[in-house]
Amino acid sequence: MSLSGKLLSKHLEENVDEIKQRLGNSEDLIVKSMTGLQGWHGMLVYIDGLTDSTIIHHSILDFLMSENQAAVQDSAMSGSDTLHYIKETVLAAGEVTVINHYDKLFLNLLSGVAILLLEDCEECLAIAAEGWKDRNVSEPTSQGVVRGPMEAFTENIRTNTALIRRKIKDPQLWLVGRCIGSVTQTNVAVMYLNEIAEKSLVDEVFRRLDKINIDGILESGYIEEFIQESSYSPFPTVYNTERPDTIAAGLLEGKVAILVDGTPFALLVPALFVQFFQSAEDYYQRADVSTLLRLLRYVSFLITMLAPSVYIAITTFHQEMLPTGLLINLAAQREGVPFPAFVEALLMEVTFEILREAGVRMPKTVGQAVSIVGTLVIGQAAVDAGIVSAVMVIIVSITAISSFVIPAVNISISVRMIRFGLMGLAASFGLFGILMGVILLVLHLNTLKSFGVPYMQSLAPFVWEDQKDTLFRFSWKNMRTRPLGTGLRNLVRQKKAPDPTK
């Protein structure tokens, strides 16, 4: 029988029995009976481990059982009157609400809230007493920087929203909550700057969130798959990060942040292609340094995607493109290799992907060592055995190293997937196949959108005003307006001021 809409009974024992039955008489369910000085009888119910014992004892039990109850002079007060008197006068807890439905009771109880039930009362009090153990705020593990804040989100959604509010102390930073997952009842917070974010964007975010109908949300990746623009594209259309400063910067540009309880990775929409090549550190270094590093990331992106396929195409179909000396050297190295260049590259790429995945899954104390030693040993052994050439080991190594230069892990994984397709085209059609694959890739990128915004915004369609923070990063004095791609509201973020050096 569903509890949805079922009201509490006026009989205390019946309510307690219902709670015990629904929770299967779980050992962590604590039920404490108590009797007030004026004769009222009640039960305090909470989940051990989800509540703070200090709040339970000092802010709830001490006040309920103290002499403050002597203020109740009318012994004929009804159970409902007593409940409201306790709420308004007796309890010292910060947040106390009155509920009368079982569905709300269980949602609060399983969220760490203490429930006070009274005899002859069809309502109960939900008393804020959350106090489970949380991971402390620590350094980011996937998006580290040399210069900048060294704090990352945690698994506690309230800690995460507080980290953002510490950076944006503006009443226009609005937070709207949602509860998603019929079983997990996961808290989801949507944050945006009301005066900057486009209303249509905010409405679209809520529309997509409200359409989610699933039994459980355990990580923000669940939300990402439901709200992303296309499920059949290798490119991510929702940005995720564990850095509060990155989320704050996105909010200041008119984007919308989605935070999910239980994960340190928050989502940011809309997500543009160029955004995945931008690091938080770009805005903490000088503009010229940031521009150089950003251009280096784009070069690394091209190397990661094209290096193996170009090598396969040249050695298989276009040997005349190589200088004679280099061609003779390559031919001598490949003399004893029994496989064509495509199979050779495929073997090395798959081997390196296996080593990379093993390094991630193995214990941290040995994972990195296994990855490095495994790559060196296997690569050298493969060359000595005549299975692959030394040049192929160099190509695969520089490809793998270049993939780590890209700040966003998800776009790096997308490029790794595309690389295998381009290798097949290179083995079949040479450079013509690579060119054909790149053209199809560019066409695909130009068809993508993220929450109605073109994925290649600023580049295609080309927006001159936004070039100050796309391939290049201009100085802050020259970035007086927000990007046009995320909306036209409140475009000016700094007024033109006199030069402080003059």
Q: Which pLDDT value is given to residue 70? A: 47
pLDDT at 276: 92
98 secondary structure, DSSP code: E
CA dist., res. 435 & res. 260, Å (int): 41
pLDDT at res. 134: 75
CA distance 370 to 364: 10
pTM given for the model: 0.84
The whole-number mean pLDDT for each consecutive block of 10 residues of the chain, a chain of 502 residues, reads 69 90 89 77 88 82 64 58 81 81 89 88 88 79 83 90 91 91 91 91 94 92 89 88 92 93 92 90 89 93 93 88 81 78 88 80 66 70 79 87 88 90 93 94 92 87 82 85 76 67 56
| Alpha helical stretches, state H, 317-389 | 324-333, 341-361, 364-384
Return the pLDDT at 67: 46
Residue 1: per-residue pLDDT: 41
Q: Which ranges of 100-198 does DSSP label H, i.e. alpha helix?
A: 102-109, 157-167
Which H helix or E strand runs over 311? helix 287-316
pLDDT at 312: 92
* Closest residue by Cα to residue 85 from 293, 453, 148, 96: 96
Distance, first Cα to last Cα, the chain: 76
Rounded Cα–Cα distance for residues 69 and 378 (Å): 77
Q: What pLDDT, on the 0 to 100 scale, is given for residue 3?
A: 52
Query: Which residue is it, tokens 């083995």?
Result: 427
Where do the DSSP E strands lie in 196-338? Answer: 239-241, 256-260, 266-269
234 within 8 A of 132, measured Cβ to Cβ: no
